[in-house]
Amino acid sequence: MTKTESKETQLKQLAEQIVESKICPELAVTATQLVFSDGSANSKVVFIGEAPGKEEDIQGKPFVGAAGKFLNQMIESLGWKRQDIYITNIIKYRPANNRDPLPEEVEAFMPYLFKQIAIVKPKLIVPLGRYAMSVFLPNLRISVCHGQPKRVGIKNWGLETRDEKSIRSLVVLPLYHPAAALYNGSLRKVLEADFAKIPRILSQI
């Protein structure tokens, strides 16, 4: 990928690369399609979920089911539009029966997630739920650190270099998953309050 290619072109090529490289073929064979991302490649924020669900698998976009509608509401509460935000998942194929992704599946998709982030170049990463959070903050509990921005170093940022010492800093804001908050009133209030912090955090980065 050259620097002259647009972000959209680079992301399209990355999605094609996942298919061509047959990443997690056991997932691909039971899924309807690859669910790569949705929204603007120029977003200052990237929301990251765990894996596509049934509706996402059908429509080919992340967060389009009930949890996605709730996420849309929170995005709009900030005066933003969904199409202006970048949304993706760690796992790009729906696991059969919505099972939890296996560690080796997460590991297989991680290089592509980091490359997505490297292309978009957001100011803030927002993992939604403990599984997505554990990729960036593996030693923390979401019940303790939700709504608290953390600056972390990512090795081999975007796989642009093989230098093991290559580290780039990211600001990560872990939030509860919208699906968990849908059916828990107290958790919903916590998530909405944490979500409302995003503009202020962005302004401070």
pLDDT (0 to 100) of residue 116:
94
Asked if residue 71 belongs to a domain, the reply is yes
Exposed (0-12), middle (13-18) or buried (19+): which is 136, by Cβ within 10 Å? middle
For the chain, the domain total comes to 1
CATH number for the domain spanning 158: value is 3.40.470.10
Once rounded to an integer, what is the mean pLDDT over residues 140-162?
Answer: 78
pTM of the full predicted structure?
A: 0.92
Reference 143, options 101, 187, 184, 179; nearest CA is 187
Question: What does R_g of the chain's alpha carbons equal in angstroms?
Answer: 16
Between CA 95 and CA 121, with CA 155 as vertex, the angle to 5 degrees is: 75
Asked if residue 1 belongs to a domain, the reply is no
- % of residues, the chain, pLDDT over 70: 92
Work out the mean pLDDT of the chain and round it to a whole number: 91
Tokens representing residue 143 in the block: 């019940």
Q: CB-side exposure of 126: number of CA atoms within 13 Å?
A: 25
For residue 43, give its domain range: 7-204
Once rounded to an integer, what is the mean pLDDT over residues 139-150?
Answer: 95
CA distances from 103 to 90, 106, 115, 136 (A): 11, 5, 19, 14
40 close to 82: Cβ distance less than 8 angstroms: no
Asked if residue 2 belongs to a domain, the reply is no
Tokens representing residue 169 in the block: 């800093």
- Which ranges of 121-173 would DSSP assign to H, the alpha helix? 130-136, 142-145
Span 172-194, pLDDT tens digits: 999 999 999 998 989 999 999 99
